Structure 1
Amino acid sequence: MRLRHPAGAPLHLSYCTNVHAAEDLDGIIAQLDTYATPIRARLGTGVLGLGLWLAAPVAAALAADPALRARLRRELSVRGLEVVTLNGFPYRSFQDPVVKHAVYHPDWTTDDRLTYTLDLALVLADLLPDDVARGSVSTLPLAWRDPWNGGMADLAARRLDRLAAGLAAVESATGRVIRVGFEPEPGCVVETTGQAVTRLADVDRDRLGICLDLAHLACAWQEPAAALKELSLAGLSVVKVQLSAALESADPDALREYAEPRFLHQTRNAAGEAADDLDEAFGRRLPGPWRVHYHVPVHVTPPAPLATTVPVLRAALAELVGGPRPLCDHFDVETYTWGVLPPALRPATPAQLAAGIAAELDFARAELHHLGVTS
C-alpha cells in the first residue's frame, strides 16, 4: 500500500510472501490469485505491496531472462500489485518441514550468496514501479555465529565490496537504485545494532545498510530509540523495516505449545541468558520473562500469561515515522510462521490465511495512521 508521511514523503507498506511455499514462477504467479488479490480486496486498496520472496533458482532464471521479468511485472500490474522490496534472507526451501539452521546457508562467505543477492537486485530493478525512487533487498546478518573467525570475516568483507560494486553496476545499467539491508538476528554474527555498527563498519553506506526486524530487536531486549540512535551515529541507514512481533511470557511453561520442528526459535530472557531454540530453553530452565523469536500475527493479542512484543513495534514506529521526516520508507509485515502456529490458531484454508494477512496489514496501516501517516 502507498502511504504518505506528514512531511509529504511516500511510504510503502507490504507483506512478505516468504509465508508461501512456491519456488517457481508459475507457482509464484498462482500465489497472486490465491492470496494477494483477495488481500487487496479485503483492504480496499487500489494497489497492494508485496515484499516478494524469490528462491534462488527462480531468481537466477528471472535475472537471466528479461522476458520473464517483463512477464512477472505484467502479472503483478494487472492484479493491482507492486513490489519495491524483496526478501533475500532465505535462499530456498523456506517452508520445508525442517528449516532451522539451514536458513543461514549459504552465508556471506560464499559466492552463492553474492550471486543470489545480485540476481535479486537485477530482478527488482525491472519490477520497481516507474515512480518509485529506490528498491530494497533484505539479507542475512553475514552468517550464523558458529563457526566464525577472522578468515571468514575477511571473506565476507570482500564479498560485500563486490556486492556494492554489483549494485552500482545495476544502477548504471537500469537507472534504478537498489539498496541491501543486513538483518540483525539473535544467534547470528550480527545480533544487535551494536554488532552491526562494529561488524559492518567498512561497508559502502550509500548502497548497504540495515534491515530492522522489530521482532528481532525485541528479542535482543533493545530499546528502539537507543538502537536507532546508535545506527544513525554510525551512518548506517535503515534500508527496510520488517513489521513483526515476537512472543513474550513471564511464565515460560505457557510457551510449550509453540515449540515446533520447522523454524529456529531463539529465546532470551531479560537478564541476557539465551538459548538457540525453545526446546533448549526449556531444558536449561532459563528464568523468565522470555522473549522468543517466533513471529506471531501482529494484530493478535494472545491470552495471558502470553503476550507479544507489539509495544516494541509501536515504540519503533514512533521513532521511525513520528519525527519531522521518516527514517525509512519501506515497511514489510513479515509473519512467516502461520503454518506452524498451534492448531487452534493456524489457518485451515488459503482463504483463512489471506484473511489473517489482511488483518495484519490493516493493523499496521492503523498504527501508521495513528502517527499521522495518511493513505
Structure 2
Amino acid sequence: MRLRHPDGSLLHLAYCSNVHPADDLDGVAAQLERYTARVRERLDVPSLGVGLWVAAPAVADEAAADRLSEQLRKLSLEVVTLNGFPYKAFHADVVKTDVYWPHWAQDARREYTKGLARLLARLLPDDVEEGSISTLPLGWREGWGPAEQEESLRGLADVAAELERVHRDTGKRVRLALEPEPGCTIETIAQACEALRGLAPDWIGVCLDACHLAVQFETGEGAVAALDEAGVSVVKTQVSSALRVDDPSSEAGRELLAGFVEPKFLHQTREIVDARVQGTDDLPEALEGALPAKDQWRVHFHVPVHTHEHTTQDELVDTLGELAGGAAPRTRHYEVETYTWSVMKDAPTDDEGLVAGLASELEWTRDRLVALGAEVL
C-alpha cells in the first residue's frame, strides 16, 4: 500500500510474509495467492506491499525468482523490503534461539544477506529505487565475545561493499537494517548506536521494531534522538506491538500471561526493578519467579497491532508519530510484523480468519499514518 507523506515522500506499507510457512520461492508465490492477494482484495487497494521472508536455501534460485516476480505482477503486489532475520526453518515446531543462527560472525549469514540483496534488486518495482533488508542484531548474547564482535563488523562491512556493487550494477539501492531485540548482542538503541557509529552509514542502519522497543521500555522519541546523534539512520520499521500486563502478580494477570506460554517462539519478558530494566529470556522463567512481578511486565509476543487491551499499542502510536509525523519521514518502509498468529490462544482457525486479521492490522496502521498527515494513493 502506498501513501504520500506531506513532504511528498512515498511511504510503503506492507505486512511481513513470515507469518506464512514457505520453504522455497514457489512456496512463497503460492502463499501470496492464498493469502496476500485476498488481503489486497479485502482492503480494496490497487496494489499491496508484502515484506517477504525467504529461507536461505531458496535465495539463489533465479528461475523461481523470475516466476515469483511474475506472480507479484499478476496479483498486483509489490516488494520493497525483505525480512532477513530468520535464516531458515522459521516454522519448525520449536524455533526459540535457533532464529539467531547463523550469526553475523559466520560466513553463512553474510552470504545469505548478499543473496537477499541481489534478489530484492530483481523484485523491486520499476518505479522504486530503494529497498531494505532487516537482519538480526549480530547474534544472541550468550557465547559472544570480542572475536565474534570483530568478525561480525567485518562481515557487515563486506555486505556494505556488496550493496554498493548491487547499486552500481542494477541502479537499485538496497540498505541493510540491524534490528535490536531483547536478549541479543544489540538489544537497545544505545548498543545499536555504539556498534554502527561510522560503519557504512550510506548502506547500514537500524530496523526499529516497535514491539522490541517497548519491551525494553524505550521510547520512539528517545530512540530517534539517540540515532540522530550517532548518525545512524532508520532504514525500516516493523509495526508491532508487545504484550503488556500491569499487575503480573495478580490472579488475573498470571492467568492472562499463562495463556501466552507456548513452545515455539522465545518470549523475552521485562520489568523495571529499582529503576533498571531487568528480564528473563522466556515467559515461563518469569512466571516461575525469576522476576519480582511488582510492576508492569512487557513480553516479546507480537500481538495484533489493532488490539489495544493488554498491549503496547499506545507506545506503538507514539513511535509511528516519531517516524512519520515530522516535517519529513524518518523511514519510508513500514512493515506490519505479527508472525505469531498461529500460536495465539484465540488464533484464526481458517484462511479467512487470518486474511481478516492481517487486513485489520493494515487498516489500523494506514489510519494512523493518515492521521499523521499521509495520503493514501
> Given the two structures, how large is their TM-score scaled by the length of structure 1?
0.96
Query: Partner amino acid for 2:321?
Result: A
What's the offset of the Cα at 1:301? 3.1
* Whole-angstrom distance in 2 between the partners of 1:69 and 1:102: 26
**Equivalent position SS for 1:97:** coil
**Equivalent position SS for 1:132:** coil
Within the candidate set 280, 283, 297, 1:275 is matched to 280
8 Å Cα contact 2:15/2:51 also seen in 1: yes
* Whole-angstrom distance in 2 between the partners of 1:285 and 1:223: 22
**Equivalent position SS for 2:301:** strand
Equivalent pairs counted in the alignment come to 365
Within the candidate set 285, 292, 315, 1:286 is matched to 292
Segments ≥4 residues shifted beyond 4 Å:
none
What's the offset of the Cα at 1:273? 1.6
Q: How does 1:41-190 map to 2 (within 5 A)?
A: 41-61=41-61, 65=62, 67-190=63-186
Within the candidate set 304, 308, 333, 1:301 is matched to 308
* Whole-angstrom distance in 2 between the partners of 1:152 and 1:192: 19
* Whole-angstrom distance in 2 between the partners of 1:55 and 1:91: 6
Question: Is 1:264 aligned with 2:270?
Answer: no
**Equivalent position SS for 1:328:** coil
Question: Is 1:204 aligned with 2:200?
Answer: yes
Deviates more, 1:281-290 or 1:359-368: 281-290
What's the offset of the Cα at 1:351? 1.4
Within the candidate set 317, 324, 335, 1:321 is matched to 324
Query: Partner amino acid for 1:321?
Result: A
What's the offset of the Cα at 1:220? 0.6
* Whole-angstrom distance in 2 between the partners of 1:50 and 1:327: 20
Could you tell me which residue of structure 2 aligns to residue 365 of structure 1?
366
Could you tell me which residue of structure 1 aligns to residue 23 of structure 2?
23
* Whole-angstrom distance in 2 between the partners of 1:285 and 1:121: 41
> Which blocks of at least 5 consecutive residues in structure 2 are unaligned?
249-253
**Equivalent position SS for 1:246:** strand
**Equivalent position SS for 1:211:** strand
What's the offset of the Cα at 1:227? 1.0
> Which blocks of at least 5 consecutive residues in structure 1 are unaligned?
none
**Equivalent position SS for 1:180:** strand
Could you tell me which residue of structure 2 aligns to residue 230 of structure 1?
226
8 Å Cα contact 1:273/1:286 also seen in 2: no
What's the offset of the Cα at 1:242? 0.1
8 Å Cα contact 2:12/2:334 also seen in 1: yes
Q: How does 1:240-259 map to 2 (within 5 A)?
A: 240-252=236-248, 253=254, 254-259=256-261
8 Å Cα contact 1:197/1:236 also seen in 2: yes
8 Å Cα contact 1:60/1:116 also seen in 2: no
* Whole-angstrom distance in 2 between the partners of 1:361 and 1:120: 25
**Equivalent position SS for 2:81:** strand
Query: Partner amino acid for 2:104?
Result: W
The percentage of counterpart residues that share the same residue type is: 48
Could you tell me which residue of structure 1 aligns to residue 315 of structure 2?
312
Could you tell me which residue of structure 2 aligns to residue 333 of structure 1?
336
* Whole-angstrom distance in 2 between the partners of 1:52 and 1:208: 19
Deviates more, 1:103-112 or 1:125-134: 125-134
Could you tell me which residue of structure 1 aligns to residue 215 of structure 2?
219
Cα deviation digits, residues 279-334 of structure 1 (max 9, x gap):
111112432310000000011234xxxx1001111101111111111110000000
Could you tell me which residue of structure 1 aligns to residue 251 of structure 2?
none
* Whole-angstrom distance in 2 between the partners of 1:48 and 1:327: 21
* Whole-angstrom distance in 2 between the partners of 1:158 and 1:318: 35
Query: Partner amino acid for 2:52?
Result: L
* Whole-angstrom distance in 1 between the partners of 2:219 and 2:174: 29
8 Å Cα contact 2:137/2:180 also seen in 1: yes
* Whole-angstrom distance in 1 between the partners of 2:257 and 2:356: 25
* Whole-angstrom distance in 1 between the partners of 2:315 and 2:220: 7
What's the offset of the Cα at 1:25? 2.1
* Whole-angstrom distance in 2 between the partners of 1:182 and 1:285: 28
* Whole-angstrom distance in 2 between the partners of 1:106 and 1:238: 24
Query: Partner amino acid for 2:302?
Result: H
Could you tell me which residue of structure 1 aligns to residue 34 of structure 2?
34
**Equivalent position SS for 2:59:** helix
> Given the two structures, how large is their TM-score scaled by the length of structure 2?
0.95
What's the offset of the Cα at 1:70? 2.3
**Equivalent position SS for 2:8:** coil
